[in-house]
Each structure stands twice: as structure tokens, then as C-alpha cells.
Amino acid sequence: MQRPQDPKTDRSAEIAPAIRHTVPWRVVAVEALSERRLRVRFVDGTTGLVELGPFLAAPSVTGTVFEPLRDPDAFNAVQVVLGAVQWPNGADLAPDAMYDAIRQHGRWAPEAP
């Protein structure tokens, strides 16, 4: 049986390069704002607004994973998970589509299904 190596002698972290994001659309920060809006910041520094009010109000959202986000407390529980905007109930937003729209217009308003 091998003995565990002393962490002081394990120098692999010194030679392994740090993990860097290679795609600009990875979300690094999200903030819930009033009127069902989000402020997002991407790994390359791009920032903008996501306007979800009309999307969440659409009748076609009823019965989907997004319906609970009509409740302000549920909406405000937004977080960044592995570079994407996500809520505890599993609802998430496509970071690449969000990034493209924000780069062009400074905002993104997804259409209801």
C-alpha cells in the first residue's frame, strides 16, 4: 500500500497551467433587478441587461420550468452555474445567445416559446 504523498512535495500545481475560459460567452456574474430583468457580466468583460418580463408573462410559459420564476422570490434566486445563468429549479438561459444579443444591442429579450 502506498503512503499518501506529502502535499508539500506535490508540485503538479506548479507545472499545470491554470484553467482559463476559452469562450467569451461564459457568464461570471448575474444580478436580479426590478421588473424581471437581470444584469449579466461575461468572462471577457461584456455586460448587459436580460429582459425577461414579457417572456415570463407569455401564456406559453405556463406549465414550463420558467413559470415559477413569475414569483419574485424565485426569480431573485438566480445564480451562475458553470458559466450559465440558472435558477434552483433548473431553469437556465442559453449564454451564447444572450452574449451575441448583448454584444450587438446591450440587451437581450428572449422570445416566449
Residue 13's pLDDT is what? 55
Q: Give residue-wise pLDDT tens across range 7-36.
A: 566 555 565 555 565 678 899 999 999 999
The fold for domain 22-108 equals NE0471 N-terminal domain-like (3.30.2020)
Task: Map out the domains of the chain as residue ranges.
Answer: 22-108
Q: Give residue-wise pLDDT tens across range 61-106.
A: 999 999 999 999 999 999 999 899 999 999 999 999 999 999 999 9
Residue 16's pLDDT is what? 55
Instruction: Say how far apart CA 75 and CA 5 lie, in whole Å.
Output: 46
Instruction: Say how far apart CA 47 and CA 28 lie, in whole Å.
Output: 10
Residue 6's pLDDT is what? 58
